[in-house]
């Protein structure tokens, strides 16, 4: 298990690579990738049972990126785990690259589910968790869900099914950065309060600062120990976290940096 300083160092490298990948491709989703960095870094390095030895096993802990457009985040974390060569990150979104704008399990072994159509990722995660339950297997399933994505009705069908089948081997994490491609989520189609909605659907609910590594580790442990219900972590985050001019600005949902902006971002992140 890594200590907080080690996780923070990995998180910094992940952010640098997210910006580099999108800048190199001249397209991609920076804002919502940056908001989930601590969530995924802590999950992959200190919580999930996933490594080189069991990567190709059908039966192990699984992760589903339901907000599939945040693929730069997933690829950058997988590169830190050694599942993807670091140099391959710069092929992001290019023709014939394995690392397309939405993750594809047919191309990348470390991707557990192809996602992109919003709401379908958490639905697939429910199916995986149900399968493990039916087989009596001890593995867990994790899914990162967007707050704008939670406007999709299929998310709530999945939530209802997960509670009905008492999938305590399922953990959903809501990346609540408050912004989507068109602006403030409460002005587009208000999904709040997400904590109360999940409680009403029969879930165990934890609300934390999604950038606080200690809080994340504590919440992951609580979710693992909780029995009889699925757990959701409502993670309060900042869109574009780590680069001042991107933070809390919905315009950075899905655009690339100019050369000047890239230089400023790299300076702020201590990147090259």
Asked if 77 and 38 count as a contact pair (C-beta separation under 8 A), the reply is no
What length does the chain have?
272
State residue 267's pLDDT score.
96
Return d(Cα 152, Cα 167) in angstroms, integer.
21
Token pair, residue 5, equals 């300083």
Who's near 206: CB < 8 A, 6+ residues apart? 219, 222, 223, 231, 232, 233, 234
- Exposure string of 32-52, with b = 16+ CB inside 10 Å and e = fewer, is bbbbbbbbbbbbbbbbbebee
Residue 34 sits in which domain range? 4-269
What CATH number should be reported for the domain holding residue 140? 3.40.50.970
Which comes out higher in pLDDT, residue 257 or 58?
257
Q: What are phi and psi of 11, to 5 degrees?
A: -60, -40
Question: What is the number of structural domains in the chain?
Answer: 1
Question: CB count, 10 Å around CB of 60?
Answer: 17
What mean pLDDT is reported for the chain? 97
Kindly report, residue by residue over 157-214, the tens digit of the pLDDT: 999 999 999 999 999 999 999 999 999 999 999 999 999 999 999 999 999 999 999 9
Tell me the sheet residues that pair with 209.
Answer: 236
Return d(Cα 175, Cα 187) in angstroms, integer.
18
What's the pLDDT band for 272 if we cut at 50, 70, 90? low
Kindly report, residue by residue over 114-151, the tens digit of the pLDDT: 999 999 999 999 999 999 999 999 999 999 999 999 99
Token pair, residue 102, equals 């939405």
3-state secondary structure string across 83-133: CCCHHHHHHCCCCCCCCCCCCCCCCCCCCCCCCCCCCHHHHHHHHHHHHHH
Q: Position of tokens 């600005």? A: 249
Question: CB count, 10 Å around CB of 160?
Answer: 14
Return d(Cα 261, Cα 12) in angstroms, integer.
18
Q: What 3-state class would DSSP assign to 181?
A: coil
**Residues 236, 234, 41, 97, CA torsion sign:** negative
Asked if 205 and 195 count as a contact pair (C-beta separation under 8 A), the reply is yes
Token pair, residue 90, equals 């710069």
pLDDT at 219 over 70: yes
Return d(Cα 113, Cα 131) in angstroms, integer.
15
Asked if 151 and 191 count as a contact pair (C-beta separation under 8 A), the reply is yes
Percentage of residues in the chain having pLDDT higher than 70 = 99
Kindly report, residue by residue over 3-62, the tens digit of the pLDDT: 999 999 999 999 999 999 999 999 999 999 999 999 999 999 999 999 999 999 989 999
């Amino acid at each position: 298990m890594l200590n907080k300083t080690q996780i923070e160092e990995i998180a910094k490298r992940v952010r640098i690579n997210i910006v580099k990948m999108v800048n190199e491709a001249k397209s991609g989703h920076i804002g919502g990738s940056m908001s989930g960095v601590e969530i995924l870094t802590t999950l992959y390095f200190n919580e999930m049972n996933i490594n080189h030895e069991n990567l190709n096993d059908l039966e192990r802990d699984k992760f589903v990126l339901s907000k599939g457009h945040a693929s730069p985040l997933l690829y950058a974390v997988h590169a830190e785990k050694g599942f993807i060569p670091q140099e391959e990150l710069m092929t992001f979104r290019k023709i014939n690259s394995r690392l397309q704008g939405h993750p594809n399990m047919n191309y990348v072994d470390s991707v557990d589910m192809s996602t992109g159509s919003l709401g379908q990722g958490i639905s697939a995660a429910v199916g995986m968790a149900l399968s493990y339950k039916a087989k009596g297997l001890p593995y867990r399933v994790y899914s990162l869900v967007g707050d704008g994505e939670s406007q999709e009705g299929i998310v709530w069908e999945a939530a209802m099914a997960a509670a009905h089948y008492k999938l305590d081997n399922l953990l959903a994490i809501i990346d609540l950065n408050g912004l989507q491609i068109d602006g403030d989520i409460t002005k587009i189609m208000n999904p709040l309060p997400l904590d109360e909605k999940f409680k009403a659907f029969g879930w165990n609910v934890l609300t934390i600062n999604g950038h606080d590594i200690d809080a994340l580790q504590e919440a992951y442990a609580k979710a693992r120990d909780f029995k009889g219900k699925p757990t959701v972590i409502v993670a309060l985050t900042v869109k574009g976290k780590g680069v001042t001019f991107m933070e809390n600005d919905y315009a950075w949902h899905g655009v690339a940096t100019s050369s000047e902006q890239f230089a400023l971002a790299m300076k702020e992140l201590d990147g090259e």
